[in-house]
A and B are shown apart, each in its own frame.
Chain A
Amino acid sequence: MQSAPLPETLANLVGLDPNSTPVMIVMSLVGAALIGTLMMTNTALAGPWAKRKITAAFTDRIAVDRIGPYGLFIIVADAVRLLSKELIVPDGVDRPAWDLAPLVIASSALLGFAVIPMGSGIHLADPEVGLAYVFATASIASVGLVMAGYASNNKYSFLGGLRAVAQNVAYEIPLILTGASVVIFAGSLQMSEIVAAQQQALIGPIPSWYAFVNPFAFVLFMIANLAEVGRNPFDIPEAPTEIVAGYQTEYSSVYFVLIYLGEFIHIFLGGAIIATIFLGGPAGPGPASLGIVWFLVKIWGVFLFTQWARSAVPRVRIDQLIEIGWKGMLVLSLANLLLTAVIVGVIA
Chain B
Amino acid sequence: MSLEKPTPDTATEVGVTEDGLDYDALADLLGGHVLDREEHVNAEGFVIRPDEVQEVLSTLKNEAGFDHCACVTAQEYDDRYESIYHLRKFDDPTQELSVVVPTTKDDPHSESAARVYDTADWHEREAYDLVGIDYDDHPDLRRILLPETWQGHPLSQDYNQDQPQIVTLRENANPLEEDHRSEDDPDTMFVNIGPHHPATHGVLHVKTVLDGEQIADIEPDIGYLHRCEEQMCQQGTYRHQIMPYPDRWDYVSAGILNEWAYARAAEDLADIEVPEYAQVIRTMSAELCRIAAHMLALGTFALDVFGDFTAIFQYAFRDREVVQNILEDLTGQRLMFNYLRLGGVAWDLPEPREEFFEKTRDFLDDLPHKLEEYHDLITGNEIFQMRCVDTGVLSEEMVKQYGATGPVARGSGVDYDLRRDDPYGYYDELDWNVVTEEGGDNFSRVLVRMREVEESARIIEQCVDLLEQWPEDEREIQANVPRTLRPDPDEEIYRAVEGAKGELGIYIRSDGTDKPARFKIRSPCFSNLQTLPEMSQGEYVPDMVASLGSLDIVLGEVDR
Residues of A with Cβ closer than 8 Å to B?
58-61, 155-156, 159, 232-233, 235, 239-244, 310-320
Contacts and interface: CB of A to CB of B under 8 A. Distances in A.
Interface string B289-324: 000000000000011111111110111001000000
Contact of B542 (A155, A156, A232, A318): A318
Contacts of B309: 59
5 contacts: A155-B191, A232-B307, A235-B308, A241-B542, A312-B311
A311 B307 contact: no
Contacts of B542: 239, 241-242, 315, 317-318
Q: How large is the interface on B (under 10, 10 to 19, 20 to 34, 35 or more residues)?
A: 20 to 34
B92 to A, nearest CB: 40
Interface string B76-96: 000000000000000000000
B189 interface: yes
Contacts, number: 85
Nearest to B307: A315
B198 A232 contact: no
A156 B191 CA distance: 8
Given A244-B197, A244-B198, A320-B386, A232 B308 contact: yes
Nearest to B549: A241
A319 B386 CA distance: 11
Given A244-B197, A314-B378, 7 more contacts: A59-B313, A61-B314, A232-B307, A235-B307, A242-B542, A312-B310, A314-B383
B314 A313 contact: no
Nearest to B196: A244
Contacts of A58: 311
Given A155-B189, A316-B383, A240 B318 contact: no
A90 to B, nearest CB: 12
A218 to B, nearest CB: 21
A156 B304 CA distance: 17
A313 B198 contact: no
B306 A313 contact: yes
B543 interface: yes
B45 to A, nearest CB: 45
A320 B383 CA distance: 10
B384 interface: yes
The 9 closest A-B pairs by CB, nearest first: A59-B314, A241-B199, A315-B307, A314-B306, A314-B384, A314-B383, A59-B311, A317-B542, A240-B198
A244 B541 CA distance: 12
Task: Name which of A233, A310, A315 has the most chain B CB atoms within 10 A of its CB.
Answer: A315
Given A233-B383, A241-B199, A242-B307, A317 B314 contact: no
A232 B383 CA distance: 11
B381 interface: yes
A318 B545 CA distance: 13
A319 B198 contact: no
B347 interface: no
B308 A242 contact: no
B307 A314 contact: yes
B318 A60 contact: yes
B540 A318 contact: yes
A167 B545 CA distance: 21
A314 B197 contact: no
Contacts of A60: 311, 314-315, 318
Contacts of B318: 60
B543 A317 contact: yes
Contact of B377 (A233, A312, A319): A312
B387 interface: yes
Given A314-B305, A316-B386, A242 B541 contact: yes
A230 B314 CA distance: 23
